[in-house]
Structure 1
Amino acid sequence: MDRIDRNILAALQSDGRLSITELAERVGLSLSPCHRRVKALEQGGVIRGYHAQLDPGALGYNFTALVFVTLRDGDRQAVNAFEEAVKQVPQITLAQRLFGDPDYLLHVTTRDLPAFQQLYDEKLSGMAGVQRLTSTLVMKTVIQDRPLVLGQG
């Protein structure tokens, strides 16, 4: 990956709706080479996709909790069963497997506290292999979706 590829990625992180023409102008390439580079970055998995960033609060989702999960067992079957169960809960917006204890960190977004409590009681606490859930509430989001630093180091 060279400087031009990093410039393409930086421009697309800033504005994923850029047309190839606009992108080529920003990075100083003609249309065809720019298009080839973008396609290569997509095919190589560097660019995973394009999406709209939504404001949860504007859509009525005003409650976010972080849920730490400790599993009873750490074998492959328990891990796979838990991860498949997590994928079935749309209110979990991010799930991360961790080293050490706890085993997972779940980011959960709901409309309000009662909706979270219902989700916690009816789904999260009954998920496959769960030994312990510990929750904390998000007071304020300070940084979200920060672009990656694309320098050489």
Structure 2
Amino acid sequence: MIDELDREILRRLQNDGRMSATALAAEVGLTVAPCHRRLKDLERSGAISGYRAVVDPASVGLGFEALVFVTLAKVDRATMDQFEARVTASAHITSAQRLFGDPDYILKVMAEDLPAYQRFFDDELTNLSGVQRVSSTIVMKNLKPGAGLPI
């Protein structure tokens, strides 16, 4: 069971995943050993599922972001499984959610620029299995990239 102290640890780590156990302990009012135990318990329970670096897309040449709305022609297990496997395997699709209603999926796609996105759209998105309709919109400004959970 996650208590308020665990929630505070999670809030702090969402803002700075590289924070040392010593600094984290000081910020949440614990000594290092109990803080470290709680941290390990949160990792074991799956509350903390991993750590990663947040990379600025523009700094690695991915300055173009689009949201893609996908409606499947047929919504059955085989079609969804095949579609989801292809989406999961695509490096340019950085986020994907299955939705209730129409459309069936929303995808976040990163590309170098508009021509690169057009190639990806033409060569990959339109060739995904079971797709009836694909539409997209260009992201003008990302206001909350990678925002943490409201813990």
TM over 0.5: yes
SS of residue matched to 2:102: coil
Structure 1 runs of 4+ aligned residues shifted over 2 Å read none
Give the letter aligned to residue 146 of structure 1. Answer: A
In structure 1, the gaps of 5 or more residues are none
- Is 1:12 the equivalent of 2:13? yes
- Alignment partners' CA distance in 1, 2:96 and 2:50: 19
Residue 118 of structure 2 is matched in structure 1 by 117
Residue 66 of structure 1 is matched in structure 2 by 67
Residue 35 of structure 1 is matched in structure 2 by 36
Residue 86 of structure 1 is matched in structure 2 by 87
Give the letter aligned to residue 137 of structure 1. Answer: I
- Is 1:47 the equivalent of 2:52? no
SS of residue matched to 2:134: strand
Residue 133 of structure 1 is matched in structure 2 by 134
- Alignment partners' CA distance in 2, 1:62 and 1:46: 32
How far off is 1:93 after superposition?
0.5
How far off is 1:13 after superposition?
1.0
- Alignment partners' CA distance in 1, 2:150 and 2:85: 32
Per-residue deviation, residues 3-30 of structure 1 (Å, max 9, x unmatched): 2111111111111001111111111112
How far off is 1:51 after superposition?
0.9
Q: TM-score scaled to structure 2, two decimals? A: 0.96
SS of residue matched to 2:71: strand
- Is 1:22 the equivalent of 2:23? yes
What aligned pairs does 1:90-101 form with structure 2 within 5 A after superposition? 90-101=91-102
- Alignment partners' CA distance in 2, 1:148 and 1:58: 25
- Alignment partners' CA distance in 1, 2:150 and 2:104: 28
In structure 2, the gaps of 5 or more residues are none
- Alignment partners' CA distance in 2, 1:59 and 1:22: 31
Per-residue deviation, residues 90-146 of structure 1 (Å, max 9, x unmatched): 000001000001000000000011111111111110011111101111111112222
Give the aligned length.
150
Q: Which deviates more, 73-82 or 141-150?
A: 141-150
Give the letter aligned to residue 144 of structure 2. Answer: I
- Alignment partners' CA distance in 2, 1:120 and 1:144: 23
Structure 1 vs Structure 2 CA RMSD: 0.9
